[in-house]
Structure 1
Amino acid sequence: MLFASHMTCSSFYRSLFRSGIDLNVDKKFKNLSIFTTPATMIKQNKRRLVSSPMAAAAPVKTGGCSPLKYYQEVLSAARANFTQEISFQCKDKDISLAKALLHVSTEYEAFIAYNREMDANSFQNEREGSEVSSEGLDLSQTESTILAGKNIEDWLLELDAIAKEVEVDLISRDIGCHLIEVLEAVNSVLFESMGFKRSTVVDSSCSYLHSVLSSKCGSAILLSIIYIEVCRRLNLTIVGSCVGEDFLIWPQTENPEELFKVNSGHSLFGIVNGRCVDNPKSKASDLNSNSLMGLDIATNRDIIGIYLANLIRLHWKRASRMTHGLMLTSPLRPVHDDKTDGSSIPLLRPQDLRLAIMASEKLLILQPHNWALRRDHGMMLYFMREYGEAVQELSICMAFAPEEEAEILEPFVEKLHLLRIESSWKSLGHKGHLKVT
């Protein structure tokens, strides 16, 4: 089976929702760093659990604490570990794609487990009519259940084992280590022996690295990352770039012409990228050695960003399933004509909306100067009815967005200020509504 890396990545160099993710930082963005250094973000985002816990990583103590407290600690540690892994103090080449994505998986699983525990407690309280306390439980086994019975090191060993199997395959066939033979062996092990395949339906089960390593079925970007990680263990550097709607990968070489030489019906470039290279509708089919050299090679941080952008779209799509076609920026356009208030916000699935926000928070750590991403993040907070935090994010966005975008945001942010005041008023037990005009 040939490896197909076609994906709907909405390109890392465009906005998550049809606006660009720009890697070129304008001069006016330089002062934004006061808002967005990792330390500042950790301080600013100490809000309720299901938001973005980013306290400093600390050993998770499982014995004698409640499940809820345990999952809180796991959430906090996973976010801090992710932040440390992609820190701009680290050289890009030293970032482990697998580790970064496994920290994302850990945060996801802890969040799901926390909500499951909350639901179980609520159900138990309803049945017995009394509050149930789980303080003092011994959760020594809980840590291993976060990532399907394994910890991060175990999942990294899974990737090591795949690379070892490729080496065994090369030895058993008594062939040398020519580039094309190594790539054919990687394909043989991944897609024939182990049965990895691209999922036809993109959902949570195929969008987190540990799940894909377990089920052997995943999204295109995750299959690309697994391919890169396996080859890295074989001392073979695989690079990649967004080309249209595809994320293409190829072995790093000083002689790009050899990637397009056809042997046994396939080129090296085709062996790695599969059918999308032969699809005349794909921009990949137009590539040659000259145009390949002109592509911007994605850094490890870029690849993590592409993955997180896909994750945001996945969870936003699931969150807004009942309001098909709802765009994050939809409320901005009619703001002068409608009566924006809390009751007019469409009802979205809160768990998936929170997961989209969590992915957006991590992407903002990677791209703190991206005004469009910050706008989208602020809009998700609005849909979550977290008006104070939405005002903060959108106000920062307004300071650095193009003038025409800032003019659209300004009246909306003013109304959010009023909604925030009304929320505070109601929380104090007052009745009635403030008139939002």
Structure 2
Amino acid sequence: MMLSASLPGPIFRFGVAGKVDKKFKNLMDFGTPAAVINQKKRRLSLSPLMAAAALVKTGCSSPLKFYQEVLTAARTNFTQEISFQAKDKDISLAKTLLHISAEYEAFIAFNREMDASSFQNERKGSIVSSDVQDSKQMDSMLMAGKRIEEWLSELDAIAKEVEVELVSRDIGCHYIEVLEAVNKVLFESRGFKRSAVVDSKCSYLHSVLSSRCGSAILLSIIYIEVCRRLNLTILGSRVGEDFLIWPQTGNPEELFKVSSGHSLFGIVNGRCVDNPKSKASDLNSHSLLGLDIASNRDIIGIYLANLIRLHWKRASRTNHGLMLTSPLRPVDDDTTDGSSIPLLRPQDLRLAIMASEKLLILQPHNWALRRDHGMMLYFSRDYGEAVQELSICMAFAPEEEAEILEPFVEKLHFMRLESSWKSLGHKGRLTVP
């Protein structure tokens, strides 16, 4: 079973920019987890599925408002889970990703409800309100019929199956035997497999636990979470385009011993280890020790970057080859205005922006990420927010990058003014000097 994970291209870079001038530090305050938590402190105790139950019990007749509450609660809970005040080892990968799933499901449900409301409003003489929903549906729709706690229990159940497998073999608890049992339960008994096509259905944890078909990075995370429940620490690292995992051990040579044509390291990580074109194929017990170990925050960051790329590719599907940074180059062309922005699929573009917002909570000083976030806001025609993000980016970006951004941001200022001008009923265009 392949557990390699494709990583984002150059426009989705990791790491924190170098030293930042103190005068710009106040620009970043709003993006820190602590700031977000303080702004939404009153919602911290509200889990998305508890909100669903509360809606049903109180007889609330506004699903749109409910979904907005769930969106807010899911984002706040995500922020709390990965807060910089928490130790990295205390961050739950599974719980964090399930909060991301809850936000995704609430967003999809909100859009679906908006579409239903629009359809009913268009029907002549219709006075049926879309605010009335079946209570059973409301209580179960957000996470494929299960609460976050129930999806976490699903991982507990998988770990229990591994324990039963070990007992049935009447063997000890050496990590090699544990890994073999995990492989059997996950990939044989449970039938987990890597999806041939990476789409939304295999890119959210609850969907993968339900369908047992998922992206490589999610299968790696499930593997890590199951082993953690068995008191076996699994390490991970980015190697080229792959994300590789292996057990923490003082004797890495055992991982590379070939038995029946495969090493344990190869069985855990899949075909990428045997692919001569992959950097993973060059690894051995010595070079393995030299890899940079990914923290829990790093793994969440890799997952979110993959999510951004997935939704951006879907959003720009009708504009083949469109890059986020494409508009920065022909900035001197007078056609760079609101009417020349290519039309993108709005739902996927919004999902990409949502994933980018969460990644910025993890990496608030990542200038390249903030630039990409600002460009997505530009494509969604949120000119005011785009100007804000790109202006902050210029404070942290290398000088040559800031010089490219500056004329584009100036154009955005005028596009924002023109948009406001037209919203007041004025006709014609503002002249850009």
Once the two structures are TM-superposed, the CA of residue 93 in structure 1 deviates from its matched residue by 0.3
Residue in structure 1 matched with residue 15 of structure 2 by the alignment: 22
Aligned partner (choices 395, 404, 408) of residue 408 of structure 1: 404
Shift in Å, 1:361: 0.1
Counterpart-to-counterpart distance in 1, 2:68 and 2:116: 16
Identity over the aligned pairs, expressed in percent?
78
Say if 1:311 and 1:345 are closer, same or farther in 2 by CA, change over 3 A.
Answer: same
- Per the normalisation by structure 1, the TM-score is 0.92
Q: In the alignment, which residue of structure 2 is the partner of 1:228?
A: 224
Task: Please give the secondary structure, in 2, of the residue aligned with 1:248.
Answer: strand
Report the counterpart of residue 7 of structure 1 in structure 2: 5
Q: Give the letter for the 2:32 counterpart.
A: T
CA displacement 1:157-211 (0-9 Å, x = unmatched): 1101111111111112222222211111111111111110000000000000000
Alignment-derived partner of residue 44 in structure 2: 57
Task: Give distance in 2, aligned partners of 1:43 and 1:117.
Answer: 30
Q: Which has the higher helix share?
A: 2
**Cα distance between partner residues in 2 of 1:176 and 1:310:** 38
Contact 1:341 1:436 (C-alpha < 8 Å) held by counterparts: no
Partner of 1:294: 290
Report SS of the residue matched to 2:43. Answer: coil
Query: How far has the Cα of 1:91 moved from its partner?
Result: 0.4
Over 3 Å counting, the alpha-carbon distance change for 1:363 and 1:108 in structure 2 is: same
3-state SS in 2 of match to 1:324: coil
SS at match of 1:277: helix
Query: Is 1:79 aligned to residue 75 of structure 2?
Result: yes
Aligned residue among 66, 72, 94 for 1:70: 66
4+ aligned runs moved over 6 Å, structure 1: none
Q: Which residue of the partner structure matches residue 36 of structure 1?
A: 31
For 2:252 and 2:187, how far apart are their aligned partners in 1?
Answer: 25
- SS at 1:229 equivalent: helix
Does 2:401 correspond to 1:384?
A: no
Structure 1 CA distance, aligned partners of 2:386 and 2:36? Answer: 15
Q: For residue 188 of structure 1, what is the aligned residue in structure 2?
A: 184
- Matches of 1:406 and 1:42 in 2, distance apart? 31
| Correspondence for 1:119 | 115
1:290-338 CA-to-partner distances (Å, cap 9, x unmatched) read 2111111000000000000000000000000010110000000000134
Partner of 1:205: 201
State which drifts further: 422-431 or 245-254: 422-431
Q: Equivalents in 2 of 1:302, 1:28: separation in Å?
A: 25
1:433 paired residue number:
429
Q: RMSD across aligned C-alpha pairs, in angstroms?
A: 2.0
- Counterpart of 1:48 in structure 2 is none
Tell me how far apart the structure 2 counterparts of residues 244 and 296 of structure 1 sit (CA, whole Å).
12
Deviates more, 1:121-130 or 1:370-379: 121-130
Q: Could you tell me how far 1:135 is from its partner in structure 2?
A: 5.3
Q: 1:68 to 1:251 in 2, by over 3 A?
A: same
Q: Give the Cα–Cα distance (whole angstroms) in 2 for the partners of residues 112 and 134 of structure 1.
A: 16
1:325 equivalenced with 2:312 (yes/no) = no
1:248 and 1:328 map into 2 onto residues whose CA distance is 28
- Tell me by how many angstroms 1:137 deviates: 6.2
The Cα offsets for residues 255-290 of structure 1, whole Å up to 9 and x where unpaired, read as 222222233433221221122111111111111122
Q: What TM-score do the two structures reach when normalised by structure 2?
A: 0.93
Residues 328-407 of structure 1 aligned to structure 2 (within 5 Å): 328-407=324-403
TM-fit CA distance, 1:130: 5.0
Partners of 2:157 and 2:169 in 1: CA distance = 18
Q: CA deviation at 1:113?
A: 0.2
Separation (CA, whole Å) in 1 of partners of 2:134 and 2:410: 49
Within 5 Å, which residues of 2 pair with 1:112-151? 112-129=108-125, 132-134=128-130, 139=135, 142-151=138-147
**Counterpart residue number, 1:155:** 151
Change (3 A) 1:188 1:138: closer
1:316 — aligned with what? 312
Code of the residue aligned with 2:360 in structure 1: it is L
Other structure's SS at 1:337 match: coil
After TM superposition, the structure 1 stretch with the greater mean CA deviation from structure 2, 74-83 or 251-260, is 251-260
Q: CA deviation at 1:64?
A: 2.3
Q: Which residue of 2 aligns with 1:47?
A: none
Q: 1:136 to 1:208 in 2, by over 3 A?
A: closer
Q: Distance in 2 between matches of 1:374 and 1:180?
A: 43
AA aligned opposite 1:56? R
Residues 320 and 43 from structure 1, CA distance in 2 versus in 1: closer, same or farther, beyond 3 angstroms? farther
Counterpart residue type for residue 38 of structure 1: P
1:306 matched to which residue of 2?
302
Alpha-carbon displacement from aligned partner over 1:80-100 (angstroms, at most 9, x marks no partner): 000000001000000000000
Which is further off, 128-137 or 341-350? Answer: 128-137
Indicate the SS of the match to 1:249. strand
Matched AA of 1:263:
S
Cα gap change, 1:272/1:119 in structure 2, threshold over 3 Å: closer, same or farther? same
Alpha-carbon spacing, 1:221–1:234, altered in 2? closer, same or farther (3 Å): same
Whole-angstrom distance in 1 between the partners of 2:374 and 2:41:
18
Supply the distance in 1 between the matched residues of 2:399 and 2:140 (Cα, whole angstroms): 50
Q: For residue 167 of structure 1, what is the aligned residue in structure 2? A: 163
Out of 223-232 and 140-149, give the one that drifted further: 140-149
How many residues end up aligned between the 2 structures?
Answer: 422
Q: Per the alignment, in what secondary structure is the counterpart of residue 228 of structure 2?
A: helix
SS in 1 for 2:153: helix
| Structure 1 position 33, deviation (Å) | 3.8
For 2:240 and 2:94, locate their aligned partners in 1 and report how far apart those are by CA, in whole Å: 25
Task: Tell me the amino acid that sits aligned with residue 57 of structure 1.
Answer: L
- Tell me how far apart the structure 1 counterparts of residues 430 and 20 of structure 2 sit (CA, whole Å): 40
Q: Distance in 1 between matches of 2:247 and 2:388?
A: 44
Name 1:50's counterpart in structure 2: none
